[in-house]
Structure 1
Amino acid sequence: MIYSGNLILRLFFFGCFSLQGYGQIYDATRQDPYQKIFVETDDFDDSYLEQLLETLPLVKEDSIHFEILNDLAYYWHTRNLVKALEYTEMGLELTARDSNMLWNGHFQITRGAILLRQEKLDAAEGVLLEAEQKVDEKDLPLLYTQLGYVYERRGQLDRAADFAMKTLEIGEIYNNDWAKGMAYSDLSNLFWKQGKYEDGLKYGLQSLSYFEKREVVDLDYDFTLYIVGNNYLSLGQFDKALEYYLRSIEIGERYGFYNNLSDVYISLVELYAVLNNFSKAEEAGINAIKYAYLLDNAFMLMRSYLSVGELQTKNKNFDAAIENIKRSIEVATPRFGDGFFLGKTYKSLGLAYAGNEQYKEAYAAFSKYDSLNAVVFTAEADERIAQLETQFNVAQKENTIQLQQTRLSQQQSRQNLISLVAGLLFLTLTILLVSFFNNRKKNKLLSNQNREKEFLLKEIHHRVKNNLEIVSSLLALQTAQTSDPTVAHAMKESQNRVFSMSMIHRRLYQKEHLSSIEMKEYLKDLGDHILESFGEKDRIRIMYSMADLHLDVDTAVPIGLIVNELFTNSLKYAFPHSKNGEIYIRLSRETTGVLNLWVKDDGIGLKPQEVAKGTGFGKKLIKLLTRQLDGSMEITTNAGTQYLFRFKMHNSVKGESP
């Protein structure tokens, strides 16, 4: 199993969030208005950066403003390094102007992360060391993680491991699961680079367990899935590797983590090549290059071209392989700091040259690989990491001994409490039993009351429906006694308006839902009634292009009246001289909650200069109802008449739209 129980449920419902909407990241009415992204919530889609940008002008409090701006800058570095740096420089300028050194230090950490990924390792190290003097100790794990990456990129794996240890120590002091997870994640990656895949896998799975305790899916959890997949791949457990890679891709695509996506697709090239699935390997290589370009990251681009070149070598397409691996080396120089991957690139170039029988060039490439490999995998680095691993194991054993001593002490205390607990247990059980029977009586009473209320509510809707139908019948009688055709038409239209409302109340007491109306079925019944009342069922067809959609009564009634007016208008004016025709209707809801109503007929249309027919009451009614729903209306009159309404919904809307 990869995920903990609670996290499985949260991840399972990722797909559902796109239909149900996402939590609001900033709400000024809350006591804590900003829900910190990837700390307090991950309940959003890949538009969260746009949400943060829209939120910034609304925030008045400096600390929250800086926090949102820093999150905006930091998470833009997963998509576009140039834009991320723009927001970071803005934050540095604002915090310096306000003499807020704490937040200035936070922005420097973000700047260091960006410079690191722009291959400016010395500049990244400098700004991170400067930030170390400004931020609180509890904020150092993120800083030390970035410093560890700097030394890892330089090939100084022992120094990188030192910073992982520092991160773990602070995580233990503050009981920070993210820091502990990050430390083990970095160690997993370092052991993988050293070829110690069993240790790498052990630390990677330990890292995931800490991340999953937080129950928040973030950038580093996503990256660790990729690291664990790499260790499984190197151990030859290909199914497990693919499982972790695909999960990492799912998270990366959900939140727009282009850096992680490029990483995973690079590894997938190797995995699919090993499985001889070359078409998928080529597709993965294309995706790796795509995300590297989107991120504008030379490190990712270099490794992407390398993965494609290695695939072509395996396919014995040596000329293309040499070209792509050379391109990888061109991207990597002159300021590329990662001796590990650069050495790997020259090794792959040597293999491609050898396969192409260019042995002189192959020898030169292998010589370059040997020199780079000697710098990265030094005896001192290997010894230091071995020492650190021993420290980790010793620390874990000491923690286990201390934990056992604590448990013994607690056990003695528990024994002293057993007698008291045993004495209270019977009393407690007696009280619970009495409470249980009392609650059963209360629940039964509440159930009866709920049934009575439901019955009364249905009865109210039934009586309202009956009253409206009486009004409709009275209008029908009055219409039959009126000789003036204009008045008769007006009376019939009023009768249909009243009937459209009565249909809603009929549905409310006949269906299970007492507070919402299923609009597709309702509009079909309304359309059939209007066609029948005008005697046009054989000549006019109404086409409904919509999925099931539930709306509350306050929304359904105005929309029903609007549709009634539009249907009536089309039947009266759009199809003269007994012309056959069709009316089309679609009602849908956007993910933002906006309702779209579209009604069109294929009748004769209305010329711009043509004077509107009738009394104009229907047009006024439509405008009033549109304003009531906080909506807008657009009319198109060539090739028939088309109405498009957009309503900003403030009440709850249930169901799905197409």
Structure 2
Amino acid sequence: MVYKIVLILALLFPLKSVCQQTDDDEIHVLLKNLHYGEDNEEKAHNLLKAVKYYLNKENSTKADIDSAALLNSEAMHISRELDLKNSIAQSMLFDSEITITKGDTVKGNELKNKALSFTKKHNLNKEAGSIYASLGYFAANTGDPNKIKHFINAASSYKQAGDFHNEAEMYCELSILFNSMDKPATSIKYALQAIEIKKKLKDSNLYQEYTILGMDYRVQGNYEDALSYALKAEKTMDNMEINGLWVSLLYDLLGTIYSELNFYDKSVEYYKKAIAVSKESNDTEGVTAITINTARSLYHRGKITEALEVLDSGFKFYHSTDCDVEYPSLYILIYCKLKQYNKAKPYYEQLIKCSNKVSERAHIEQEKMYYAIISYLTQTGQADKTYTYINKLKELAKVHNDLFNLSQLERAHFESDSATGNYLGAIEHLKNQKKLDDSLFNINSTKQFADLQLKYETEKKDKNIKLLTQQSQLQQTKLEHEMVIRYIFIASLAISFIILGLLYSRYCIKRKSNAVLEAKQEEINRKNKKLQNLVEEKEWLLKEIHHRVKNNLQIVISLLNTQSAYLENEDALLAIQNSQHRMHAMSLIHQKLYQTDNLSSINISWYIQELASYLKDSFDDENKIRFELNTQSVELDVAQAVPLGLILNEAISNAIKYAFPQQKGIISITFKETQENTFLLQITDNGIGLPEGFEPTELDSLGMNLMTGLAEQLDGTFNITTNNGVTITITFIKRVADV
């Protein structure tokens, strides 16, 4: 689900002078010195600096504004006497801002326009830029549509005055403004203009522009550029030690990008950082928005209970209105996933009322609202009502070529068609989703991350090259010094020709040896580089294979799910369901392998936790089973991890389905090393146990045969016992790869 960061203009466009603030210590010295000396240009300049201080002061009081007015009046008097036109224009601007601060906006704007006329009359371009900027900030806060024109005029005036820094700042403000108006293309244009100017000025303060570009490219579905600029913004902020709103926005943006690329662990990591920064800044609206994003990311990862806990914990920061869609939409998705439709229904009814005002809402809110409505209708047997909302969402997604949402909508269309019996249409939409997923994740993930990694590794290599150059220069100096000593030594022993000949002979032999060694070293380096390239290509191919295998298993699972809709025989449905779980057990392994740098082995502790969580969500609707896991962190290769995962799938599935027909229970899973390279896997339940006289060897069961066969594949032993429940024990020896 897409989340759009909307900047709050009241925070980003303060009604202040565009000039920099003066710190407290400096202003105290300045005010003290103003009482001495004659009236001159320097005194007028210092008076205006003091006025800026009081106007820009945080939590300014009435006394501060009165002080600003008094100092500005004195500055105006001196400036008129000395005919300092630049200072007169600044003083006129400050007079207008003081008037507005006191509450008289009409008169204040009249004074501002009067100041603007004065600057035009005397060709004071820099001061005109300041006045246009002030008009733009005021218009942005009041909703005046002329705000864009004012900022463009400000940029033009600064450019004519040669004040390129402030010209770039105006382009940055325009970029922020168009981003908030949901016009990413125009926003990108102005952000790039600002960056171009600042780079010419060698100004590295680009984190705002990089953050806005990241947001704009994400909206357009260009995840490669979005992530690239977001990472640049993070690097810039780290170097400048920036805190507050922009850091929170950037972390939220990175969390959103990683979430939409299905890197949910990375997504949650950044969302939690964003929440911490927002809480530090007392930004309750930011905490609310990012809490929703965190819960949404956990929801997509399948951690539904944790998502509900996060959402409930952030509710105290939430200030609801009649037609807010953030919390209701996510509550619907979570409660539908938990099959608690009665809890989802009030939120659904609330959104239906709000949908009547859809034309008044930003398209991001429309997306959230429609997705939640579709989910509720599909899962409550009303799939025929979803098509209207799906078509509306497709229109919104096509505006910015949003591949992520188009993929999700094809999935929604598939589910609706399946529920309404349109199976041919369902298969077609499933194919479309697969194409979009390949486009989104194979291009925007594999290539994108490789390119980004290459880029930042190149930067590191450039630094290393610079360091090596410095070392080379030091080495050269050292060699030159040694050469001088050698010449002195040779000169002092000029009469000893025999010794000199021997020394020269040794030198020649050594030089030849070095040349041979250097040639051999170059050959070794060339071969090492070739081998490194082959290893990197192999790793990339292995990742791609695991990715494809995982995708193909998911397609087979979906096809089995579709096939089950055609079947009414319970045994056949059960067989399909069992096959789906077995395929998911294998899919988890391939998913983990292509998402990590370790392409040959998988952490069994992580795998057991993920598989147990998945099977509990699949079977345990009444939440009556609790898992107790005692597992060691052990890496197994794929050849042993796959049969071990299938054994776990069969044992846990059987325990959930048959061990607790009427009561609650506990399933304990133990995985540990009993001795060197010998491991024990034990699955125990405290359920009703096996029937009396049960003999595993005499039972014609696919699951039992599968577990015994897989245990043999592990070169291990399989044992099943019953005593106040059932205990399945597998012992096997870990295979050690040949070095």
TM, length-normalised to structure 2: 0.38
Structure with the greater relative contact order (CA < 8 A, sep ≥ 6): 1 or 2?
Answer: 1
TM (norm. structure 1) is 0.42
